[in-house]
Amino acid sequence: MNLTLKIWRQASSSAPGGIHTYQLGGVSEDMSFLEMLDLLNEELVTKGEEPVAFDSDCREGICGMCSLMINGQAHGPEVTTTCQLHMRSFKDGDTITIEPWRASTFPVIKDLIVDRSAFDRIIQSGGYISANTGSAPEANSVPAPRDKAMHAFNAATCIGCGACVAACPNGSASLFMGAKITHLGDLPQGQPERYSRVVGMVAQHDHEGFGGCTNIGECTAACPKGIPLDVISQLNKDLRTAMVHGF
Ligand code: SF4
Ligand code: FES
């Protein structure tokens, strides 16, 4: 395939950025999107030009590092992570626009890399989980109903990629936060700090400048892990309970 790539280039967080256009040939439909960018970077380096900076780590859809707006869609045209998107989703002659996540809470560090440490601070604000010291307890000594366990497990598949924020017109991190609140709050082990956790995380979310949820649903449509909107209901329910009981 021959492609025209329009890529956001920005030397640093304080430098002005802009779209640069590159022609790239020899792209196989079996390549992943990141392998296609690797190919572009090899060409740029060979020509003595600065390669395009982008985030990746596992390249298996589990770490949440890859984070690109592709033709205006978070992670591109398929419901998956950028690293699991394959070039067979595009065709010869296509023009592909590649930008970093667009959210003021995720400032650009360089080119396509953004700073998502606001997510770390939200998790940190949730505090610790109480756990007794000593050897791990026998699993069946803390019974968890199967439906709760499955709900918690599904919520725990959130990889913290930030696509929900990038897709949301309000720049809200409610889906991410709801996933964290749900996977801890559904299980018996998460109960001791359940309500102080939600108060701490929501306060940090608002302090960071993420917007509020207005039930638009773009977040869940863009989420590569299919986190459902009902985690936001659980977040709001726990927050209301916490407020009523003065946490
Ligand atoms: S909720 Fe989905 S889109 Fe948001 S950070 Fe988690 S995995 Fe990514
Ligand atoms: S590089 Fe790890 S999820 Fe994409």
CATH number of domain containing 87: 3.10.20.30
User: What pLDDT, on the 0 to 100 scale, is given for residue 134?
Assistant: 84
Q: Specify if 40 maps to a domain.
A: yes
- Same domain for 32 and 122? no
Task: Give the ligand whose atoms come closest to the C-alpha of residue 178.
Answer: 1
Q: Are residues 81 and 171 in the same domain?
A: no
**Claim to verify: residue 222 and residue 152 sit in the same structural domain:** yes
Query: Do residues 21 and 61 both lie within one domain?
Result: yes
Q: Is residue 122 part of a domain?
A: yes
Nearest CA-CA partner of 197 in 185, 209, 210: 185
- List the CATH number of the domain containing 208: 1.10.1060.10
Q: Does 89 lie in the same domain as 22?
A: yes
Q: Is the CB of 176 under 6 A from ligand 1?
A: yes
Q: 240 with 120, same domain? A: yes
Residue 135 belongs to a domain? no
* 136 in a structural domain: no
**Is residue 99 a part of any domain in this protein?**
yes
Tell me the two tokens of residue 69.
């707006």
Say yes or no: 15 and 82 in one domain: yes
Q: For the chain, what is the radius of gyration of the CA atoms? A: 20
pLDDT score at 189: 87
On whether both 98 and 154 belong to a single domain, the answer is no
The per-residue pLDDT for 107 is 97
**pLDDT for res 178:** 98
First to last CA, the chain: 58
Of all protein residues, the one whose alpha carbon is nearest to atom 6 of ligand 1 is 158
C-alpha 109 – ligand 1 centre gap (Å)? 21
Distance 12 CA to ligand 1 centre (A): 26
Task: Let me know if residue 134 belongs to a domain.
Answer: no
Residue closest by Cα to atom 5 of ligand 1: 160
Q: Are residues 29 and 65 in the same domain?
A: yes
- List the chain pLDDT tens, one digit each, 247 residues: 999 999 999 999 999 999 999 999 999 999 999 999 999 999 999 999 999 999 999 999 999 999 999 999 999 999 999 999 999 999 999 999 999 999 999 999 999 999 999 999 999 999 988 877 888 878 788 888 999 999 999 999 999 999 999 999 999 999 999 999 999 999 988 999 999 999 999 999 999 999 999 999 999 999 999 999 999 999 999 999 999 998 8
Please check whether residues 7 and 97 belong to one and the same domain.
Answer: yes
CA of 147 to the centre of ligand 1 (A): 22
Number of domains in the chain: 2
SS (HEC) of the chain: CCEEEEEEECCCCCCCCEEEEEEECCCCCCCEHHHHHHHHHHHHHHCCCCCCCCCCCCCCCCCCCCCCEECCEECCCCCCCHHHCEHHHCCCCCEEEEECCCCCCCCEEECCEECCHHHHHHHHHCCCCCCCCCCCCCHHHCCCCHHHHHHHHHHCCCCCCCHHHHHCCCCCCHHHHHHHHHHHHCCHHHCCCHHHHHHHHHHHHHHHCCCCCCCCCHHHHHCCCCCCCHHHHHHHHHHHHHHHCCC
Q: Which domain holds residue 70?
A: 3-110
pTM for this prediction: 0.94
Check if 160 has its Cβ closer than 6 Å to any atom of ligand 1: yes
In a domain, residue 42? The reply is yes
Q: Are residues 236 and 123 part of one domain?
A: yes
Write out the two tokens for 123.
Answer: 């998790």
* Residue 13 shares a structural domain with residue 104: yes
